[in-house]
Every structure is written in structure tokens, then in C-alpha cells.
Amino acid sequence: MHIGIVTALNETTPSITEVSVLAEERGLESIFQGEHSHIPVSTVFAGSGALGPEFYTHFPDLFVSFAAAAAVTRTIRFGTGIILVAEHNSFHLAKAAATLDMVSGGRLEFGVGYGWNKPELQNNGVQWDQRREVFAEKLAVLKRLWTEEAVAHDGTYGSFTESWMWPKPVQMPHPPILLGAPGYEWQLRQIVDLADGWYPLDSPELPARLQKLRAMAAEAGRPEPLLTVSLGVSRTPRNPWYFEASEAMDALLQRAELYQSLGAQRLVVGIPMADVGTITRSLDSLATMVDRFA
């Protein structure tokens, strides 16, 4: 099982280029980061009724950031955790992802999701009650743009004439598509139908849902789904989901052992959005897990 990190680095933190180099030097396999095009002032965060962690308003462009990090690294993989597919122009997203896969030498993990922020979706032209259908249609279009020489599309939520879109991704047939979702049955069905794997948060329900996913994939004649589990063990208002080098290593190891026994291919652990010293200490501790879970 590979060990990676997940974070939300921005202009107020050490750069993603610096952190990617530090992580690669310590043998960590991947770095995952999410995206939001913007956060409307009217956003209501679940369970709080108010603006959530400040970092949500500071996400940089994911593909520009990862391209910069790819230029100064050689092996670490770059995970989109997650891309809000419904909010994107399909041509722009297909080209950006394929170009990142090209310039990184095939190091993209394409994590995707539906979107939870109603006003953000609406500002990007997506109606809340249609977001799942828009997501599914656009993801199918992306796969065609990556794998077919010329593509035309006449769908419910978009259409275009026969068109070329280059470059194609380096990875064949395309970068691994990982659906980020809790794992309700309809989401597991979409993993089987549209994706290559699952990118869930650590939860008590995960083992049973993974068993269900495997059964659904086998019934459909699909390969064993990839499993990347995202896990954090500390919560504060500024850093709601990360591992600190000084705390909870035993708890982290126990969860890692569980997910290794369940066949996870990758565990990504949240790290603090803090100074370089704090980040480095967290990375040093996580590096001790690399050989243990190889």
C-alpha cells in the first residue's frame, strides 16, 4: 500500500512545489489537493451555518500548481482530490488534465466528485438538482476526448460538433479516475460504471461499502476497483483535517493496517497547512510508514 498526503496549500502557506519535493525526498508516493473555483459569500457549510475553514476561499488553480510541482519532481504522483467535473468546460478540463499528465510523465491521478456547494455550482451554470447527471455526462465526454481521435456529442446538458482535442494523456487509456464520495449504493454504481476506483474519507461504514462495491464490480465483469483512502486524525478551526507528527501515530497506524488488510492501494494522510518546519516534521513521521506498508 502506497502512502501519500492530502493538503490545501495556497499563497499563505509553503508552496506546493516545495512540499512536493520534501514529500518525494521522503519516499511518499503522492500528493492530493482539491479545488474550488470560488466560494460564494452565501455559502453555508454543513453543520456550521457559517463560513467554514478559511482555506476554502484560497484554493489556487490545481493544474497550474501541479504542473509547477511536476517540473521539480520525478516520481511523486499528483492527485486531484477532487475535481468538480460538472463545473468545468469539458474541452478545457480534458486538455488541462491531459497536458498535466503529459508534462509530468504520466503522474496524474484524476479524482472527481459531484460538488456540495449549491451557490458555487449555480454560479458555474449547474442547477443543484441536476449536478449528478451533469457530472456523469461530462465525465463520459472526458473519457471520449482522451481516447478517441475525433469526438462529437449531443447530450442532455451539452453538445458539440465533431472535434479534435489534443494532447491525449500519457497513461493509457487515461489517468485513473477515482470517484470521491461517501459510498451510497448509487455512488458505488457510478464507480463501477464510470470510474476506475473509489476515493473515500475514512469512516466506520467504509469496509462494508467496499465489500458491496467489489460485489457490484464482479457482477458487472469489471476489474477490482482501486481504493485510495483519505485519512486525518486531528481537527482545528484552521486545519480541520490533518496529521501532526507529535500526536496519534498509534491511531494512524491502526487505521492504515485496517485499510491495507482491505486491499487499499493507497492511503493519503492530511498534513498541516503550516510553516515548513511543522510540515517537514509531519512528512518525516509519515515517511516511517512507507517501508512498513510497502
Angle, helices 185-194 vs 206-219, to 10°: value is: 50
Digit-by-digit pLDDT tens for the chain (294 residues) are 999 999 999 999 999 999 999 999 999 999 999 999 999 998 887 655 444 577 889 999 999 999 999 999 999 999 999 999 999 999 999 999 999 999 999 999 999 999 999 999 999 999 999 999 999 999 999 999 999 999 999 999 999 999 999 999 999 999 999 999 999 999 999 999 999 999 999 999 999 999 999 999 999 999 999 999 998 644 444 444 455 544 567 888 888 999 999 999 999 999 888 899 989 998 999 999 999 998
Q: Which three cell numbers stand for residue 41?
A: 459569500
CA nearest to 77, candidates 6, 143, 8, 13 = 6
* Domain 2-140+169-292: CATH superfamily, name plus number: Luciferase-like domain (3.20.20.30)
Q: Can you tell me whether residue 17 is helix, strand or coil? A: helix
Rg of the chain over Cα atoms, rounded to whole angstroms, equals 19
Cα distance between residue 78 and residue 44, in whole Å: 29
Cα distance between residue 13 and residue 55, in whole Å: 10
- The region, left, alpha or beta by phi > 0 then psi within -120 to 50, assigned to residue 183 is left
CA nearest to 229, candidates 190, 260, 192, 194 = 260
Q: Which three cell numbers stand for residue 258?
A: 485496517
* Every domain of the chain and the residues it spans: 2-140+169-292
Angle, helices 276-292 vs 16-25, to 10°: value is: 30
Pairing of strands 108-113, 177-179: parallel
Cα distance between residue 108 and residue 76, in whole Å: 9
Task: State the DSSP string of 207-234.
Answer: HHHHHHHHHHHHHTTPPPPEEEEEE--B
